[in-house]
Structure 1
Amino acid sequence: MYNDIQETFPKAVLHQAFICKFSSNEYIVRFDEDIQYLFLLLDGRAKIYIVHENGKRALIQFLKKDEFIGELSLIEMEKNIKDVVAINDCACLAVPLVSSKEHLLNDNLFLHNFSKYLGDKLLKRTDHYTDMQDYEFKNRLAKYILQIEHDECFQKKHTETAEYVGGSYRHLLYTLNQFHEDGLLEKKGRKYFIINKEKLERLSSKKD
């Protein structure tokens, strides 16, 4: 969506912005720290966790190129910051919120694109919950693996995976074993390696 940064952001904002990079599994934002920047993900993928009062985290969303981090803080709609963690190496455009907020909220072109972005994000979130009802567990798991894999490798806590995909721990282990027997994944220790990405993609699209 934001392919042309020069045309999207006000010049006054771009003069303050800079590129920052994050390694795989590095925190981009921490829930217990005030967010100081509006990030635009230029390259890589990230994941968002909500942190409950008891300290437990729940994976709620994935982010890819051209998506914002901290957009709800920009419009003062988010009281509780979430953890945002890089899945692979990420590059972000960092826009200081304090000095750029007024420029952004008074720029018609930015607000137009920003509103479309928020609407699209809401629809995607709705699609996720719809998928939980309409897709079989194996389809949802295939989609999740493709979202979370790094260098064709999938390695996540089984409890977190089962929770996000919407199934039991036992069902998850059974399905992962089926993926192994069907030649989609190969297990080495605690890691799963994708060996038939094309078939996994078909399965994630509910075509198989």
Structure 2
Amino acid sequence: MKKRVYFDKYEDMRFISHLDLIRFLERLFKKTNLPIKYSNGFHPRPKMSFGNPIALGTEAFGEIMDIELEEDLSNAEVLRRLNSAQVLGFRVQEVESLEGKGNIVEEYPYTRYSVEGSCSVVDRLEALLQQDQIIEVREKKGKTVTRELKQRIVSWKRTENCITLSSINISPNAYLELSDIRQQEVRIKRLGYEKAKDKGEGLC
């Protein structure tokens, strides 16, 4: 039995890495007696998959996780069990049954973010986003690697001191670095995913 779980990771939970999130969920499954299905082999792992990893320090809302269960449970029961631990900074919003294999990244290619900070900080980010090209140059394994990041942005909008943007397989961190903005100067939220047919802009 396959389930798609929509969850939020916020407040202090935003400071745990993707690997720590996986470990946390493994403990949560055991604590709430959720009959998760495990892989075979010498090191069995819970059968679960995610969208793109959440950058450290980013609050995330409407995150998607696919899991497989050993028993036939209703969506309401899965939601109840996962929320019964009442973990601060973690909340399951919805559970739905999943038919077929499912691939979160392929189904939801667009990710929505908001970046909020002081007026001067947001001015710098806006100036970068207004450029016709956004070129990132990095050294990787002794070679110079160049990426054009403008094409990764589907849409963006500024409302006061907050910029919301929809992007393809990239977090705002790359744009912050090119704008000479430290992550401590802003509050980043991942607002969820969009399918190709219904992409749009998030709200702060």
Q: TM-score range by the shorter chain?
A: under 0.3
Bigger helix share = 1
Bigger strand share = 2
